Amino acid sequence: MPKLKTKSSVKKRFRLTGTGKVIMAQAGKRHGMRKRSPEMRRTARGTTIMRECDAKIVRRFMPYGI
């Protein structure tokens, strides 16, 4: 069998934890931060764990992990 290629867009946007969960950047941080509440700005800082239903799709694109 030939080797499977990792999707280039996926390796730029996501990482896997040691237990196999998918880490992603928080959504909704690109613009318009002044109108958001300070609490939302604080919680949107950094990264978050992706939901399992979406993580299945992402893991399919990285066959060997990253």
Q: Is the CB of residue 16 less than 8 Å from the CB of residue 66?
A: yes
**Alpha helices by DSSP H, the chain:** 8-13, 38-43, 52-61
How many angstroms separate the CA atoms of 36 and 31, rounded?
A: 10
pLDDT level of residue 15 (50, 70, 90 thresholds) = very high
Domain covering 8-61 in this structure, CATH number: 4.10.410.60
Q: What pLDDT was estimated at residue 48?
A: 96
pLDDT level of residue 12 (50, 70, 90 thresholds) = very high
Edge-to-edge strands, sheet with 15-16: 15-16, 22-25, 47-49
Q: Where are the domains of the chain?
A: 8-61
Q: What is the overall mean pLDDT for the chain?
A: 95
What are the tens digits of pLDDT across the range 26-66? 999 999 999 999 999 999 999 999 999 999 999 999 999 87
pLDDT level of residue 13 (50, 70, 90 thresholds) = very high
